[in-house]
Chains A and B, each alone.
Chain A
């Protein structure tokens, strides 16, 4: 840890870990219901457990993003955070918002707008928290005057994520209009600006873990951002196929969303190229596992599995089935969960006592068990989804009759989800078992190494 205020990140990561664990509890409860009859039907029905499962995912990943940003920005801008106090107030507000939202869902307090179920007061708190966060990060960069491309991309992603939350505040009686604007938040987050956040963290980690030149890495980052914008924005239309909007959205959605994997191919090539060209320049090989794993699993889950059902003539059979769950689980885990876990694995050795820099044995078990578990879960959803599409959409069997026929795949889902949960439990245990230390050390900035190439003069901010 080179700056004392980076310690803020530890508490964000700790909260993220707790919420990640809870997310899996509600995920397993939801999966078990497919094997019903469900003994918890009148206490925790599927709609409640699923809402909590998906909302916890969004909240813990955003908490991880905030913590990782508070770790990365002082490092990149070579200064302390503008306000540590503000960062802790922000975390406090965020936790209160998250906990009350979850309790509210248990009592059916929500808007019913999928993934944006938060009641209006909670949404307002989310906006306030995002503004506090952006202000703190922006002022830190302004104070230092050093603004790297890596943090520029990260900041653009975070700022855009805040702006794109605004459509979620609006309420429409018309269901089609409501869905139309809902995707401005959800799609443009996960298939747009969040990819920039991932790209920013990926570049930061690769610059620090490999010996890659900052200048080369940051040029690639522009290419990735360009591809995200080019395909991701109009790719939103793949959510508009069957929601009651004009037919011209079909070819637009099909064409642009088919191009979306290009950015992800670029990201995987980028990570592979950096390691191949420059080799390892840091002892933390566990963080490297998570970093490269994120790039590759994103290509698999978001790129290939997204492409598998994005074309309109395929999607007319698969939309709203377990094929979507297949894509969603692998994509979100690879792109966002893994990059947060990579940032945590990178930052943790310098924030805790007695932790090995290259990662602990438990850390590696956590990595491989999670990977195996998530791969198995993806295959379970895929096989269940293919069966569902054939029986329900092609043969015309009823929904519940179909669910009975594909139950065996849910046995596989629960088995592999349990494996995944063990992997996550090991990560959480490994996180908490060493006490934090928060001592400033004199680590060498990769840009300041004797063998590092000269970097261009950083632009001065007004």
Chain B
């Protein structure tokens, strides 16, 4: 009844979300380094 068989699928979804979070951090870093025009524009 308590669906322990769903543990692995939701764990995989959770880890995919972790990968997306890492990607989002990298995206923030990439935009900062390549697009930010600097202080005092």
Taking Cβ atoms with an 8 Å cutoff, the residues of A that contact B are 4, 7-8, 10-11, 14-15, 17-18, 21-22, 24-25, 28-29, 31-32, 35-39, 84-85, 88, 404-405, 407-408, 411, 414, 417-418, 421-422, 424-425, 428-429, 431-432, 435-436, 438
The reply to whether B21 and A14 form a contact with Cβ atoms under 8 Å apart is no
Task: Count A-B pairs with CB separation below 8 Å.
Answer: 100
Contacts of B27 in A (CB 8 A): 28-29, 32
Taking Cβ atoms with an 8 Å cutoff, the residues of B that contact A are 1-4, 6-7, 10-11, 13-15, 17-18, 20-25, 27-29, 31-32, 35-37, 39-41
Contacts of A15 in B (CB 8 A): 10
The reply to whether A11 and B3 form a contact with Cβ atoms under 8 Å apart is yes
The reply to whether B4 and A17 form a contact with Cβ atoms under 8 Å apart is no
The reply to whether B14 and A21 form a contact with Cβ atoms under 8 Å apart is yes
The reply to whether B21 and A8 form a contact with Cβ atoms under 8 Å apart is no
The reply to whether B21 and A21 form a contact with Cβ atoms under 8 Å apart is yes
Main SS of the interface on chain A? Answer: helix
The reply to whether A421 and B21 form a contact with Cβ atoms under 8 Å apart is yes
Instruction: Identify 14 new A-B residue pairs, CB closer than 8 A, beyond the known A18-B10, A431-B14, A436-B4.
Output: A11-B10, A24-B21, A25-B17, A31-B28, A35-B35, A36-B35, A37-B35, A407-B41, A414-B28, A414-B31, A418-B25, A421-B21, A425-B21, A432-B15
Main SS of the interface on chain B? Answer: helix
The reply to whether A17 and B14 form a contact with Cβ atoms under 8 Å apart is yes
Bound Cα distance A28, B20 (Å): 11
The reply to whether B2 and A438 form a contact with Cβ atoms under 8 Å apart is yes
Contacts of B28 in A (CB 8 A): 28, 31-32, 414, 417-418
The reply to whether A414 and B14 form a contact with Cβ atoms under 8 Å apart is no
Q: Which of A18, A25, A84, A435 contacts B1 (CB 8 A)?
A: A84
Contacts of A435 in B (CB 8 A): 4, 7
The reply to whether A414 and B20 form a contact with Cβ atoms under 8 Å apart is no
Q: Which of A7, A21, A35, A422 contacts B32 (CB 8 A)?
A: A35
Q: Which of B7, B18, B35 contacts A429 (CB 8 A)?
A: B18
The reply to whether A14 and B14 form a contact with Cβ atoms under 8 Å apart is yes
Bound Cα distance A10, B28 (Å): 32
